[in-house]
Structure 1
């Protein structure tokens, strides 16, 4: 009976990890598509376009780093990844609202060479992708939290290199590092 519980936990962990990776791949594709849509409006982007491209580049970097940090990274790297993902998702949501509600003004800030009607369509496509990126980033954040929780519960001791967290026992080597009054 214990074997089936361990097997179902392992299968659940495996499915969660696969979902996390697939979500990251889709996130990478959507963010890179937003970059290409922004570049299609003007080959050399304006300052506003540069910041929009920079936002998508940071999203890509956070998604790539998240694939390894979530399951095997230190606590500091995991915290930095989570903060980066939350901030980029907030900015993605803000940019998508700005693009979809004030398309002509945003197109003017980009200083596009494309006709206004065509530029508005391209920009609305980019805004729709920004909404998709926003939703995917929150999905990735949730899956990253679940994967980190699985790693902690399984006793891998994520981030501090110790594997005795699950059974609650303290080894003799751990006691040697304690101050004198606590060494019994």
Structure 2
């Protein structure tokens, strides 16, 4: 007796994974946009450090958009671009959040903010909290993207048009052992 899963439950699992993936990307879009506005609220025309922080959040937005495009069209080019940008933004978002929470006053000095120091520290820590959220959701999105690509590979939906595996639940018939190469003949 073996465990046989129905095709509809597998499709339902893929659909749930796809929906969670898109929802996580939408959360990334919102959090990165909020971080951009928080950075701009510290100073209307950002310094070099502020510009790099905004560029990091814009790259996060681009990664989330490429993730949505990868989920929609399923091409390897979008998948590779999404994975690379998501990994890089996750690493930098984690680094920025650590920097914000450990050296708040030095980070504010490099931003050259016009806001009072107490208020700017609160705004910056709000941005640091969002950076942590972005960091966590980046890794969630990476795991979900991996599972979605795996499901596509197993179901035969890879971009080369070939069928990698089929879920039939049947054991493949073995060839004649006499046809095997010499070391494997019994």
SS of structure 2 residue aligned to 1:38: helix
Residue 145 of structure 1 deviates from its aligned partner by: 0.6
SS of structure 2 residue aligned to 1:143: helix
Partner residue in 1 for 2:181 = none
- What is the total number of aligned residue pairs between the two structures? 164
Q: Are 1:104 and 2:108 matched, yes or no?
A: no
Residue 71 of structure 1 deviates from its aligned partner by: 5.6
Partner residue in 2 for 1:69 = 70
Partner residue in 1 for 2:119 = 118
Partner residue in 2 for 1:12 = 13
- Structure 2 residue runs of 5 or longer lacking an equivalent are 167-186
Q: Are 1:159 and 2:159 matched, yes or no?
A: yes
Residue 97 of structure 1 deviates from its aligned partner by: 0.2
SS of structure 1 residue aligned to 2:6: helix
Task: Spell out structure 1 runs of 4+ moving beyond 6 A.
Answer: none
Q: Are 1:95 and 2:110 matched, yes or no?
A: no
- Structure 1 residue runs of 5 or longer lacking an equivalent are 168-184
Residue 3 of structure 1 deviates from its aligned partner by: 9.4
Residue 20 of structure 1 deviates from its aligned partner by: 0.5
| C-alpha distance in 2 between matches for 1:77 and 1:10 | 23
Matches within 5 A, 1:123-162: 123-156=124-157, 158-160=158-160, 162=161
Indicate the larger mover: 100-109 or 64-73: 64-73
Residue 153 of structure 1 deviates from its aligned partner by: 1.0
Q: Output one character per residue of 1:2-38: Cα deviation in whole Å (capped at 9) or x when no partner.
A: 9961011011001111100111111110000000000
Residue 133 of structure 1 deviates from its aligned partner by: 0.3
Q: Output one character per residue of 1:54-108: Cα deviation in whole Å (capped at 9) or x when no partner.
A: 0000000110111121463432432222111101100000000000110000000
**TM-score, structure 1 length as denominator?**
0.84
Partner residue in 2 for 1:54 = 55
| C-alpha distance in 2 between matches for 1:33 and 1:3 | 46
| C-alpha distance in 2 between matches for 1:72 and 1:146 | 16
